[in-house]
Structure 1
Amino acid sequence: MLLSINPDNPQKRLIEKVVQALDQGGLIIYPTDTFYGIGCDLFNKKSIKRIYQLKKRPLTKPFSFIGANLNDISLYAQVSSYAYRMMKRLLPGPYTFILEGTRLVPKLMLTKRRTVGIRVPDNKICLAIVQELGRPIISTSVNLDEPSIIHDTYSSLVEMVIDGGVI
């Protein structure tokens, strides 16, 4: 399903449709501030494994995930005072912070060193999805930036492609 969402003012009813797909274990393709990403609910192991298969990526290389804000990040990563000040200055934005994960993070998403990559992108659609869902989503790139091409390429592999314009 291709779903067009206004990038400047995401429509709540459409965001709710996306969240419903995530709640049901669906994979989505969504815009961030730097790329279109493939994602799913951080806590849906089956969906995460589907993304690993889709990307042909070994389970030993965890994906980053997206939080809604600094409070979200502090639930899933140990944030030092220094890191907090830096993130407060830089987020939302095009950065991934590598931090030690907390016990809330599924083991499948931790590196051998128990670290996680966390982002808070500067994209209203992406943030609206995470805020409405109430928990983080996986983030890995699709390596394409035109929504119609993404849809043609991935529509049979994911439940929903969100058109938020060209990145």
Structure 2
Amino acid sequence: MDTKVYYVDEHSDEKIKEAAEVIKRGGLVVFPTETVYGLGANALDEEACRKIFKAKGRPQDNPLIVHVADFDISEYVENIQENAKKIMENFWPGPITIVVKKSSRIPMLVTANLDSVAIRMPSNKVARKLIEYAGVPIAAPSANISGRPSPTTIEHTIDDLMGKVDMIIGGDKCEFGLESTVVEVLDEKVTILRPGAVTKDMLEEIGLNVDIDPAILTKPDENLKPKSPGMKYRHYAPKAEMTIITGRIERTVDYINMKIDEMKSKGKLVGVLATDETKDLYRGGYIISVGSRKKLGLIAANLFDTLREFDKIDVDYIYAEGFEEDGLGLAIMNRMKKAASYNVINL
């Protein structure tokens, strides 16, 4: 398949309209959002959405997120409960997805045969124009090969999906760099299924009682039927085996330095996912700082790009410093644990 690539911004109306025509006729378009790049198809067209699973190599029991450009989602959901409305009013457009009862307009393929649908309104202006011009909601997971680190630049999507999709549009690096927060809102109960930039504290600040799904905190059971993307399968993974080291940072640095020496003696190259505070404390290996521990937003934005950089260098092993699992740190560690297949050493 020939893939057209356009570098665009919110003013590139003609190219965005061309991409919208691809969506209308059942094709696949990669497009930017504020979280990560998405691989989109007409959410109301089951055969178009089937192409998403094929292009990504995505398991069909992993539901897709439906992206909209308008607050009126009554055509796609059975009913909108008060807590869902409150989330929409406070955080849409933005990096949060609500899981609510679906209407018959949404194909079962999109929801992985669940009676609920994951739906969100992106704040990225290119994404919203694409949806508006297409005139249909767009189903879109992250625009990467399934299991690989999610794409936060157009170059990442080109590396993974060139020749597998009809068109790629984009330009800027994604603002948040982690997929959206996903919350299930059923029977007035709010449960975080996937952490993201909209945190538990932020949801509680608007008067919601919020639970966290156990699958976020521990390795999910292999028989889990995922209610949300990112719940079950190994995700975000670099090519090299990755281990996360948690505990006091001084002990973490000492442990990783020991592993660097050990692997070097075997002719192996270690990649170290470090921070600004520690990057100069390592005595070898390939060191990448994801940012300062004082700026978790920057660490989130850099995480997937860093994992892909280790792939380019072709390191043999990756050791990563861990983070506190609260606020945005919960989302960062959620992605890191999945990337590391839950290989965590707590010192």
Same-fold call, TM cutoff 0.5 = yes
In structure 1, the partner of 2:44 is 43
Structure 1 contact 125–164 (Cα < 8 Å) conserved: no
TM, length-normalised to structure 2: 0.45
In structure 2, the partner of 1:164 is 171
Q: Deviations over 1:87-111 (max 9, x none)?
A: 1111001001000001211122234
Structure 1 contact 98–115 (Cα < 8 Å) conserved: yes
Structure 2 distance, partners of 1:114, 1:154, is 30
In structure 2, the partner of 1:14 is 15
Farther off after superposition, 56-65 or 27-36: 56-65
C-alpha deviation, 1:146, in angstroms: 2.3
Structure 2 distance, partners of 1:153, 1:56, is 11
In structure 1, the partner of 2:32 is 31
Q: Deviations over 1:52-107 (max 9, x none)?
A: 12222232222111011211x22211211231122111100100100000121112
In structure 2, the partner of 1:144 is 151
Structure 2 distance, partners of 1:107, 1:149, is 30
Task: Flag the structure with larger Rg.
Answer: 2
C-alpha deviation, 1:48, in angstroms: 1.1
Structure 1 distance, partners of 2:45, 2:171, is 24
What secondary structure sits across from 2:100 in the alignment? Answer: strand
Task: Rate the CA distance shift 1:55–1:82 in 2: closer, same or farther, 3 A.
Answer: same
More helix per residue? 1
In structure 1, the partner of 2:6 is 3
Structure 2 contact 29–169 (Cα < 8 Å) conserved: yes
Task: Rate the CA distance shift 1:103–1:149 in 2: closer, same or farther, 3 A.
Answer: closer
**1:60 is aligned with what amino acid?**
D
Q: Deviations over 1:126-166 (max 9, x none)?
A: 00011111110011012122213422431200011112311
Structure 2 distance, partners of 1:153, 1:84, is 36
**1:2 is aligned with what amino acid?**
V
Does residue 153 (structure 1) correspond to residue 160 (structure 2)? The answer is yes
What secondary structure sits across from 1:110 in the alignment? Answer: coil
In structure 1, the partner of 2:82 is 81
Specify every segment of 5 or more residues in structure 1 that has no aligned partner in the other structure, as ranges: none
TM, length-normalised to structure 1: 0.90
What secondary structure sits across from 2:119 in the alignment? Answer: strand
Structure 2 contact 99–118 (Cα < 8 Å) conserved: yes
Structure 1 distance, partners of 2:108, 2:117, is 10
Structure 2 distance, partners of 1:28, 1:70, is 23
Structure 1 contact 10–124 (Cα < 8 Å) conserved: no
Does residue 119 (structure 1) correspond to residue 120 (structure 2)? The answer is yes
Q: Deviations over 1:1-50 (max 9, x none)?
A: 111111xx332211210111112221111101100011111122222112
Does residue 62 (structure 1) correspond to residue 63 (structure 2)? The answer is yes
Structure 1 distance, partners of 2:153, 2:58, is 23
Structure 1 distance, partners of 2:12, 2:22, is 16
C-alpha deviation, 1:119, in angstroms: 1.0
